[in-house]
Amino acid sequence: MLNSINNPFHILAFTETWLKADNYNLVEFDDYEHICKIRPVDNNFDMKETGGGLSIFIKKHIQYKLREDLNFMLPFVETLFIEVPHNNKTFLIGVIYRIPNTSIDLFNDTINSLIEPIKNEHEIILVGDFNICLMKENSHTREFRNCMQSNSLFPTILEATRVANVLRNGDYQVTQTLIDNIFINDKLNHKSGLIYSSISDHYPIFLSICNESLNYQENSQVIYCRLIDDNRIRKFKSALQLSLTNSLLDVNEASEAFSKFDSKFTELYEKYFPIVSKKITKKSLLKPWVTDILVERIKIKENLLKLSNKGRINKSVYTKFRNKVTAQLKSAKAKYHDKEFAKCKGDVKKTWKLINNSIRNKIKNNNIKLQENNHIIEMSKIPNKFINYFSNIPQELVTQITPVDTNFTAFLKNRTLNSFLHV
pLDDT digits (tens, 9 = 90+) for 67-111: 999 998 888 999 999 999 988 889 999 999 999 999 999 999 999
pLDDT greater than 70 at residue 45? no
- Identify the three-state secondary structure at position 384: helix
234-267 pLDDT, tens digit per residue, is 889 888 888 877 777 777 787 887 888 888 888 9
pLDDT at position 204: 92
Is a pLDDT exceeding 80 seen at residue 29?
A: yes
Q: Cα 291 from chain centroid?
A: 22
Supply the pLDDT for residue 211: 62
pLDDT of residue 317: 84
Are 325 and 298 in contact, with CB atoms under 8 Å apart?
yes
Paired sense of beta strands 275-280 and 371-372, if any:
unpaired
Confidence of residue 214 (pLDDT cuts 50, 70, 90): very low
How confident is the model at residue 231, as a pLDDT? 85
Confidence of residue 218 (pLDDT cuts 50, 70, 90): very low
The answer on pLDDT for 4 being more than 60 is no
- pLDDT tens digit sequence for 263-312: 888 899 999 999 887 766 655 556 778 887 888 888 888 878 877 777 77
Q: Which DSSP category does 202 fall into?
A: B
pLDDT of residue 418: 57
pLDDT, residue 286, reads: 61
User: In percent, how much of the chain has pLDDT > 70?
Assistant: 84
In the prediction, which pLDDT does 46 show?
55
Q: Are 162 and 220 in contact (CB under 8 A)?
A: no
Q: What is the pLDDT of residue 104?
A: 93
User: How many whole angstroms separate alpha carbon 45 and alpha carbon 40?
Assistant: 8
Rounded average pLDDT over 303-323: 80
Q: What is the mean pLDDT of residues 192-215?
A: 74
Residue 117 has pLDDT above 70, yes or no: yes
- 189 burial level (CB within 10 Å; 0-12, 13-18, 19+): middle
pLDDT at position 113 is 92
Could you list the beta-strand ranges (E) of 239-331: 275-280
CA atoms within 13 A on the CB side of 380: 0
**What phi and psi, each to the nearest 5 degrees, are found at residue 123?**
-90, 115
Q: Could you give the domains of the chain? A: 3-212 (3.60.10.10), 221-276 (no CATH)
Distance CA 330, CA 302 (A): 18
Considering the chain, what is the average pLDDT of its residues? 81
**What tens digit of pLDDT does each residue of 341-360 get?**
888 888 888 888 888 777 65
pLDDT, residue 292, reads 75
